Amino acid sequence: MLDKEVLWAELSDKFKANTPKLSFETWIEPVKPISFDGSTLTLSLPSELHRDYWEKQLAPNLIEYAFVITKDNIIPKFILDSDVNASTDDSNTVNSSKNSTGYALSKEGHLNPHYTFDTFIIGKGNQMAHAAALIVSEEPGKLYNPLFFYGGVGLGKTHLMQAIGNKLVADHPDAKVKYVTSEAFTNDFINAIQTNQTEEFRQEYRNVDILMVDDIQFFADKEATQEEFFHTFNDLYNDDKQIVLTSDRVPQEIPKLQDRLVSRFAWGLPVDITPPDLETRIAILQNKAEIDQLEIPSETINYIANQVDSNVRELEGVLSRVQAYSRLKGEPITTDLAYEALRGLKLETQSHQLSIVDIQTQVAEYYHVSVNDLKGKKRLASIVMPRQIAMYLAREMTNNSLPKIGKEFGGKDHTTVIHAYEKITEKIKLDTGLRKEITELKKGLR
């Protein structure tokens, strides 16, 4: 068994490698290991605020890191420095069934019965993804393994992925189909560690015919989860079981994703889904109107399809809004009615057409620097910070890829954009002033 000091030193190293400096100094450095009995690590913290932050934010990371180090499930227990000599009760133990961090075993995993191939409209932007999905649903584990869909928000990745699962179940009712989001996978894994049920977890995830993991970009930074997923992947792959993954970007662009996972994700077929063109948007709306039994003139469908150009989920939302407005007014859906219903919406959706140049202009004005400075290489703090903020906003508020954002900032590498994004994300958590500035900037950009 490791000594408490040695274990804490190793844990602290892991936090250091994965936490911005300021955050490390604030939350982790002041922690003292009090005792370790082989399963419970008691840590002493300087304040209630620290305890709250550890319980809500850092405990899951600690459990993951401890698992990597000891291959065992270690439960942290937090006490205050002022209580060190007092008796210690169990009330602060982070415990699987009643923890305050909300990472109880996920109940996700249901396939949405509406996400089928029948209800999926094929267009230029998703033709290839659709064809690959169909092949995989007919011959899972054979041709494209893993099948990896990537693309912007609301473009049908989940729909297509689940269509594969739904078809498999329809064709082979005994097929073991498992669908999870990457967050659910992570939560299940952490929960399994805490409750000593890693074997059951493995049984559940490795004993399937097809494993579908949605939005795997959220594996970034999750070292132990990536490790576990690596083994899950290998087991399934070696057994010719199908793996389907989705992400908002190509594997190479997912920050802190282990190289061995990046390369495995590229073994099969990475295929992108791009925003639908006008014809596809019209077809999607017609299909939806038919399903919902709505009478809409084609001129009106055309009008609605022109209001949203980058996101199918939003397009559906716009149609629902028109539908609700027509019901409210007791009038049939016409172009005039749609115009009225969507008048207020124009402003809300504008952020999606926002360009990187808009962001650069606004940020430059806000911080009194020039756009050229934002695109340049000057290392002055008064310029570096606005530059990173502009990159952060470009990532947050537009659908541009990291390389494209880098390019628009004077031809910088995409890793510079990732770095800026992570830096600002971390800073916002601690710096209320910065958080306010970013909120103001966002408001101005909407």
Binding site for ligand ATP (CB under 6 A): 115, 119-121, 126, 153-159, 215, 248, 284, 312-313, 316
CB of 76 or CB of 154, closer to ligand ATP: 154
Residue nearest to ligand ATP (CB): 156
Q: How far is the CB of 214 from ligand ATP (least distance, A)?
A: 6
Helix (H, G, I), strand (E, B) or coil at 80: strand
CB of 154 or CB of 386, closer to ligand ATP: 154
Alpha carbons 107 and 180: distance in angstroms, whole number: 9
CB of 15 or CB of 148, closer to ligand ATP: 148
Q: How far is the CB of 137 from ligand ATP (least distance, A)?
A: 16
CB of 120 or CB of 233, closer to ligand ATP: 120
Q: How far is the CB of 92 from ligand ATP (least distance, A)?
A: 36
Helix (H, G, I), strand (E, B) or coil at 356: helix
CB of 159 or CB of 427, closer to ligand ATP: 159
Q: How far is the CB of 37 from ligand ATP (least distance, A)?
A: 43
The secondary structure of residue 353, as a DSSP letter, is: G
Q: How far is the CB of 221 from ligand ATP (least distance, A)?
A: 19
CB of 72 or CB of 316, closer to ligand ATP: 316
Q: State the residue for tokens 């992947």.
A: 233
- The per-residue b/e assignment along 287-299, b for 16 or more CB within 10 angstroms, e otherwise, is ebbeeeebebeee
Q: How far is the CB of 288 from ligand ATP (least distance, A)?
A: 8
Alpha carbons 9 and 146: distance in angstroms, whole number: 38
Alpha carbons 82 and 105: distance in angstroms, whole number: 34
Q: Are strands 75-80 and 147-151 parallel, antiparallel or unpaired?
A: unpaired
Q: How far is the CB of 296 from ligand ATP (least distance, A)?
A: 16
Among the listed residues 363, 375, 387, the one whose alpha carbon sits nearest the alpha carbon of residue 440? 363
Hey, how many other C-beta atoms are within 10 angstroms of the C-beta on 137?
A: 22
- Bin 304: left if φ > 0, else alpha if -120 < ψ < 50, else beta: alpha
Q: How far is the CB of 313 from ligand ATP (least distance, A)?
A: 4
Alpha carbons 52 and 239: distance in angstroms, whole number: 44
CB of 124 or CB of 436, closer to ligand ATP: 124
Task: State CA 222 to chain mean position distance.
Answer: 12
Alpha carbons 387 and 370: distance in angstroms, whole number: 10
CB of 286 or CB of 334, closer to ligand ATP: 286
Alpha carbons 437 and 82: distance in angstroms, whole number: 37
Q: How far is the CB of 146 from ligand ATP (least distance, A)?
A: 16
Question: Which phi and psi (to 5°) does residue 230 adopt?
Answer: -55, -45
* Structure token pair of residue 123: 């267009």
CB of 103 or CB of 115, closer to ligand ATP: 115
Report the amino acid identity of residue 420: A
Could you give the C-alpha distances from 131 to 36, 120, 163, 209, in angstroms and in order? 55, 12, 12, 20
